[in-house]
Amino acid sequence: MLDIQRIRTDFPILGREVYGRPLVYLDNAATTQKPRCVVDAMTDEYLNVNANVHRGVHYLSQQATDLMEQARETVRRFIGARSTAEVVFTRGTTESINLVASSFGQAFLGEGDEVVITEMEHHSNIVPWQLLRERTGIKIKVCPITDEGRLDLEAFVRLLSSHTRLVSVTAVSNVLGTVNPIKEIIAIAHAHDVPVLIDAAQAAPHMPINVQELDCDFLALSGHKVYGPTGIGVLYGKEALLEQMPPYMGGGEMIGKVSFEHTTWNELPYKFEAGTPDYVAATGLARALDYVTSIGIDEIEAYEHQLGTYAYEQLMQIEGMNIYGPAPSPVVSFNIVSPSLQGRADGGLIHHLDLGTLLDRLGIAVRTGHHCAEPLMHRLGIEGTVRASFALYNSREEVDSLCDAIRRVATMF
């Protein structure tokens, strides 16, 4: 079992106060806090190593390059990729998905071809396909969810056709917390010869990922959601696919030879890494993944399962509580119906923004709104939710503080 009190000391920010109250940070699905070792590794690199990577013959440049390539190897191990050629550094999940939409889209998709996504996708896994649709005339097919907040797998199977060229689906919903059966989805898609992109932004911090076991074709994740720095993320792609895809951006480092007449591309993964990469953030990400591994991703998953179960049980005892999505999960979205507001068109919901703002005054950091998943809000028939999302350093006491604060705030309406 994790020693939460000890783990918390690795995260200096958790000791601070807001509005004179201890901070209860429950906005981890938006971004996680950083352990001191991540910040230290990055500070050390800036203070003692800093030089541009892959370019200089000098000592520092080679040392910085070594650190970046070691970071790539750490990522490879963390996601179980076959080779570092399959690990592309990007700015985050959003850029990773845009890279695939642009590059894979240009290479393999044309008018009438279909991309299957789902009703629970983040805008990052909707809008890039819409941009591609404008450029190429592809069709976007949307797999519905059940009333319980799970993917409708029978509908998913029916959506696959001889025109389907890609399935792009989130592993874990950032609103509902639903853990999708991605292994099954990948197997079904592959039986139709359709490759699959997994949005692992909300999965990477909470559960083991092994791209070879999953057999996914692409996988995207963000460093800042897994205790790493902002501005760095990963695109995993199967080597054979990445080889066939054109570059996403042009510039330094992604080239083989350049002349005004003709330019050739660098080998993988550099073909997709134009310009000076955020090599210091790569080091920070590697340190964060090492930190997670040192605690144990299985232990983290087990602990967060218990915490999510406890949170669900406690929250459900609050009068007027509506939780969206299946429990337990480290992501809990909810609204509260106030008896005094009943009779209104919205069924008496306390507005999520009001609830979140008042919780903030009590030191509880949650996210409110549509969580960059507006189509999902339409499906749920609401404008937004309050979302509490947990990380490995959250405690039962913090769940209790959340529930006490909600009760206190709800009486104000």
Near ligand C6P by CB under 6 A: residue from 174, 180, 283, 333: 174
Q: Which is nearer to ligand C6P, 64 or 232 (CB)?
A: 232
**Distance in angstroms (rounded) separating the CA atoms of residues 107 and 119:** 26
User: Is 372 annotated in the active site?
Assistant: yes
Q: Note whether 394 binds ligand C6P by CB under 6 A.
A: no
**Distance in angstroms (rounded) separating the CA atoms of residues 349 and 95:** 36
298: enclosing H helix or E strand: helix 297-316
Count CA atoms within 13 Å of residue 182 on its CB side: 30
Stretch that binds ligand C6P, among 88-96, 150-158, 292-300, 339-347 (CB under 6 A): 88-96
Q: Which is nearer to ligand C6P, 31 or 266 (CB)?
A: 31
User: Choosing from 143, 216, 372, 403, which is the catalytic residue?
Assistant: 372
Stretch that binds ligand C6P, among 8-16, 18-26, 87-95, 186-194 (CB under 6 A): 87-95
Q: Is 134 exposed, middle or buried (0-12, 13-18, 19+ CB in 10 A)?
A: exposed
Site for ligand C6P in 138-157 (CB under 6 A): none
Alpha carbon 98 to its chain's center:
14
Structure tokens at 203: 């999965």
25: enclosing H helix or E strand: strand 24-25
Q: Which is nearer to ligand C6P, 222 or 266 (CB)?
A: 222
Structure tokens at 92: 């985050």
Q: Note whether 222 binds ligand C6P by CB under 6 A.
A: yes
159: enclosing H helix or E strand: helix 153-159
Q: Supply φ then ψ for residue 85, to 5 degrees.
A: -60, -20
Q: Which is nearer to ligand C6P, 102 or 266 (CB)?
A: 102
Farthest CA pair distance, the chain: 73
Q: Which is nearer to ligand C6P, 53 or 198 (CB)?
A: 198
Near ligand C6P by CB under 6 A: residue from 79, 145, 196, 372: 372
Helix/strand/coil for 389: strand
How far apart are CB 390 and ligand C6P at their closest, in Å? Answer: 13
Near ligand C6P by CB under 6 A: residue from 2, 4, 30, 241: 30
Q: Which is nearer to ligand C6P, 97 or 399 (CB)?
A: 97
Helix/strand/coil for 136: helix
How far apart are CB 174 and ligand C6P at their closest, in Å? Answer: 3
Structure tokens at 267: 């080998």
Q: Note whether 371 binds ligand C6P by CB under 6 A.
A: yes
Q: Note whether 368 binds ligand C6P by CB under 6 A.
A: no
How far apart are CB 340 and ligand C6P at their closest, in Å? Answer: 30
How far apart are CB 199 and ligand C6P at their closest, in Å? Answer: 5
Tell how strand 255-258 and strand 263-265 pair up.
antiparallel
Nearest-Å Rg of the Cα atoms of the chain is: 22
DSSP lists the bridge partners of residue 196 as 167
Near ligand C6P by CB under 6 A: residue from 10, 114, 199, 278: 199
In this structure, are residues 255 and 272 in contact, taking their beta carbons and an 8 Å threshold?
no
Site for ligand C6P in 93-132 (CB under 6 A): 93-94, 122, 124
For ligand C6P, the binding residues (CB under 6 A) are 29-30, 92-94, 122, 124, 170, 174, 199, 201-202, 222, 367, 371-372
So which residues are the catalytic ones?
372
